[in-house]
A and B are shown apart, each in its own frame.
Chain A
Amino acid sequence: MSESPVNPIKVDVWSDVQCPWCYIGKRRFESAVDASGIPVEVEFRSFELAPDTPVDYEGTPVEYLADRKGVSPEQARQMVDRVTQLAAGEGLAYDYDHIHQTNTVKAHELLHYAKEHGRQGEMKEALLRAYFVDGGHVGRVDDLADLAASLGFDRADVVRALESGQYTAAVKEDVAQAAAYGIHGVPFFVFDGKYGVSGAQESNVFAQVLAQVAAERVDA
């Protein structure tokens, strides 16, 4: 019987808050971790899918999708319905009728803020849930500060950090690192800086990588 590695396996995850596959992939990864019992240390890295999107984008996600993809509203709705079905399979109740398409740079800054406070994982889950499930706005500083406060963070300090751009450079460093690695799609998982998994793979793929890394540690 193989032993669990003493030290957690480091998993870097590049993702964006408004990436539907990132939330689905997160659930599948977590399922694999839970099943394996292998300890992991997860760090979420910033990736901006649409950095040119205005914070207060006017329109629905379906309208946004139809416009950007050049498809009909009906086709866009079919796409959204399909990903909603897939998310439901992971226990996630996506609510595209109430999603606020926005710019996510401040949400990424908040993730870096939370990381500095040792609570990044909790914040990541809260942001994804707010965006895809609860109809929250993850682009405005005030809304982000409210979300952070609901988790027990110091609201005024969050506002200060976000308005000052304290973590903007950290976000851009993650984005630049992804580009340097040639990462063009998210989610993208890196295990121990060695193994890469692209996209929302099935849980068994994540389990395979975890077992591989753990086995290599035992053999070392």
Chain B
Amino acid sequence: MTPPSDATGPFTMVGGAGMACEDDTCALPATAESSPSGSEGA
């Protein structure tokens, strides 16, 4: 696949943002309301 020009360029994204880790602490939520849907990494 050709590398994308943006975050998810080559893919048709489904489902929006989910709980994820984007850094080494994974943005763990303190409350349900603040829950991200993934961990984002460095």
Contacts and interface: CB of A to CB of B under 8 A. Distances in A.
B8 A196 contact: yes
A24 B40 contact: no
Contacts of B42: 48-51
A160 B1 CA distance: 33
B15 to A, nearest CB: 4
Contacts of B24: 49-50, 53, 68
Contacts of A205: 14-15, 18
Interface residues of B, number: 37
Contacts, number: 160
Interface string B14-42: 11111111111110111110011111111
B3 A186 contact: no
B15 A21 contact: no
B28 A82 contact: yes
Interface residues of A, number: 47
Contacts of B28: 20, 65, 79-80, 82-83
A200 B20 contact: yes
A40 interface: no
Contact of B39 (A19, A181, A209): A19
Nearest to A193: B1
A21 B14 contact: no
A199 B3 contact: no
A184 B40 contact: yes
Interface string A37-62: 00000000001111101000000000
Contact of A83 (B8, B17, B29): B29
Nearest to B28: A79
Given A50-B42, A65-B28, A186-B39, A21 B19 contact: yes
Interface of A: 16, 19-22, 24-25, 47-51, 53, 64-65, 68-69, 75, 78-80, 82-83, 86, 180-188, 190, 193-201, 205, 208-209, 212
| Shortest beta-carbon contacts, A-B, top 7 | A199-B18, A199-B38, A185-B40, A196-B11, A50-B24, A79-B28, A199-B20
